[in-house]
Every structure is written in structure tokens, then in C-alpha cells.
């Protein structure tokens, strides 16, 4: 199966209808990631077909789980973005949102900047910063799939939210123990199972807001 067919089938299984041009850009991102990975070790995944599942489809699985009002015209940040995941796939799929990639490691931010240029992502900004050093209140949504502990995610990124904004934590199994340690003043808005075609593992999206 070609990568194009694999991506198309995966999107269809998730109920996502993306233009052919957007799908081509997503695959171009995978190609760029594979190229840079030879030198910079951005991801442990080397195979492009696995990248389609574990990077593209996994990132895009957020979209069916969030309300449309959280996307159109909204300001999103992806913290601890690494190779730009999930931020770059989300920005490609939804050009109407603005996505800021926040990453403290220089080589990863360098890759993000190159991806922004080569893929023509005008709705993406790259910040080589530590999230806790940033001014607050600038984003409607903050997403991450890199934080091991939800309490740390809230503590480090909660100040970034504008009034009414939400944190989106991408997790594996439903982390009941982590949610029990949620800092005071915060509440769990939703816990949605995520469907990732081709991935045999539990995935959940935890939505958090101020109580």
C-alpha cells in the first residue's frame, strides 16, 4: 500500500475529509522528518508508514474529538512540540487556526522552522523557548502529547490560556491517578477516547479547564 493510500484510508476511518493538497503536504512533512531524522534523531520511528500512523494519524485524531468552535480562528499552542507533533499536522489539516510551536531544544526548533518554510505553513509560528518563561494569556488552547504527568502540564502551561481556554493532554490509557492529582482550581472538562487507525493501543484526549 502506498503512503498516500494509507493516509487517505486512515483519514476516512476517522471521518476526516482533507483536500488532496493538504494530504500531500502531510506526506511532505513525513518526508522532511525522515530526512532530518538521519542527522538530528528527532524521532525513534524510522519507517515512513509507521510515521503516518504514529505521527500523522495520531496527531489528527484530536480533530474528531474537539468541538468546531475550538478550531476556527482560534489560537493554539503546542508545547514540548519536539518535531512539531501534534502541532504541524493539525496546522496543515486546519489552516484556519494559528499554531504556535513551543520547544526548548534548539535542533528541534530548527527543524520546525525549516518545515514551516518548506511546507509553506503561514499559520505556524515557532518559538525556541521554555514554556514557563512565556507571558500568559495568549492562547485559546494548549495541546501536548509529550508531558508524562498532567499536573506538570497544568503547572507549566496553565498560565498560557486566555479566559475560557482549555488544555488538551494527549495520553495513552485513561490516567485516573494523574487526574486525581489535578492542581486546585482546575477541573476535567472531558475525557474522550481517540481512534487512531492502525495503532493497537489506547489513546485518550483529556480536556482541562479552570474550575
Query: pLDDT tens for residues 156-207?
Result: 999 999 999 999 999 999 989 999 999 999 999 999 999 999 999 999 999 9
Whether residue 67 is predicted with pLDDT greater than 90 in this model: the reply is: no
What pLDDT was estimated at residue 70?
A: 87
What proportion of the chain, given as a percentage, has pLDDT over 90? 90
Give 66's pLDDT tier (boundaries 50, 70, 90). very high
Domain containing 112: what range? 3-210
What pLDDT was estimated at residue 147?
A: 79
Question: pLDDT tens across 21-62, in order?
Answer: 999 999 999 999 999 998 888 888 999 999 999 999 999 999
pTM above 0.75, yes or no: yes
Q: Which of 141, 151, 144, 160 has the alpha carbon at shortest distance from 185?
A: 151
**Total domain count, the chain:** 1
CATH number for position 38: 3.40.50.150
Give 69's pLDDT tier (boundaries 50, 70, 90). confident
Mean pLDDT of 85-102: 97
Mean pLDDT of 133-155: 92
Amino acid at each position: 500500500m502506498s503512503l498516500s493510500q494509507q493516509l487517505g484510508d486512515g483519514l476516512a476511518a476517522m471521518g476526516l475529509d482533507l483536500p488532496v493538497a493538504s494530504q500531500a503536504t502531510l506526506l511532505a512533512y513525513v518526508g522532511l522528518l525522515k530526512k532530518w531524522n538521519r542527522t538530528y534523531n528527532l524521532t525513534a520511528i524510522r519507517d515512513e508508514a509507521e510515521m503516518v500512523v504514529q505521527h500523522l494519524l495520531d496527531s489528527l485524531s484530536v480533530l474528531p474529538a474537539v468541538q468546531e468552535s475550538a478550531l476556527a480562528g482560534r489560537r493554539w499552542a503546542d508545547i514540548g512540540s519536539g518535531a512539531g507533533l501534534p502541532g504541524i499536522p493539525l496546522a496543515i489539516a486546519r489552516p484556519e487556526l494559528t499554531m504556535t510551536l513551543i520547544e526548548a531544544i534548539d535542533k528541534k526548533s530548527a527543524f520546525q522552522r525549516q518545515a514551516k518554510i518548506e511546507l509553506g505553513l503561514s499559520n505556524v509560528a515557532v518559538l525556541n523557548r521554555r514554556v514557563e518563561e512565556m507571558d500568559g494569556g495568549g492562547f485559546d488552547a494548549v495541546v501536548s502529547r509529550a508531558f508524562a504527568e498532567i499536573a506538570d502540564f497544568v503547572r507549566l502551561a496553565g498560565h498560557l490560556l486566555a479566559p475560557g481556554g482549555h488544555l488538551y493532554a494527549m495520553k495513552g490509557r485513561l490516567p485516573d491517578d494523574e487526574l486525581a492529582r489535578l492542581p486546585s482550581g482546575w477541573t476535567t472538562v472531558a475525557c474522550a477516547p481517540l481512534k487512531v487507525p492502525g495503532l493497537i493501543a489506547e489513546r485518550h484526549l483529556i480536556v482541562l479547564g479552570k474550575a
